Chain A
């Protein structure tokens, strides 16, 4: 089993749609979880950290399910500018280097 797995997509949705991405991780002792966004041919940028209690930032909601070892990202009211690749990122233990999933590509169309 790969350490961090994501559905590569692409997810093609119209503006205004709600879309959800899931990510699974193999190390049950993993400590920290993040979603990064990467635009085409650009560097990844932190979108949001993922906390056990779940967290929301505007149209974006992240959830963590430790029992099932998966992380989700929900995007509501999709905008054209949301088109990007979303990377699921996991820290296997505190203070270690992060492990990146291959990313899920989202394309929002008008």
Chain B
């Protein structure tokens, strides 16, 4: 079955360490996204990518980095520059409508819960 796989599900990090969250999809979707969710808050966009080897900053990109070397994969690195990284991280993908009107329906992975000790 097609879907999005995020790993690890739970991750603990010491302050000052970089960590990389994995996101893989086999839906043949062009676009991939990373969101962050804090308790009682909505999803905030970190980065998104419409096509391989290209990505754009979202609303809260500082302290994060991404790469898109393959269509299926969009890993997120949480760097030591991110001052408050404890959160629930959600990866999603969608077909890219290329500017045409229509739905950008997102399919989400199960999420990665990062805790900084």
Contact = CB atoms under 8 A, between A and B. Distances in A.
A8 B40 CA distance: 9
B43 A94 contact: no
Interface string A81-96: 0000001000100111
A32 interface: yes
B103 A32 contact: yes
Contacts of A36: 106
B2 interface: no
Interface residues of B, number: 29
**Interface-centre pick from B43, B45, B105, B108 (highest chain A CB count, 10 A):** B43
Interface in A64-103: 87, 91, 94-98, 100-103
Given A97-B33, A97-B48, A97-B58, A44 B102 contact: no
Interface of A: 4, 8, 31-32, 34, 36, 41-46, 49, 87, 91, 94-98, 100-103
Interface of B: 33, 35, 40-45, 48, 58, 88, 90, 96-111, 113
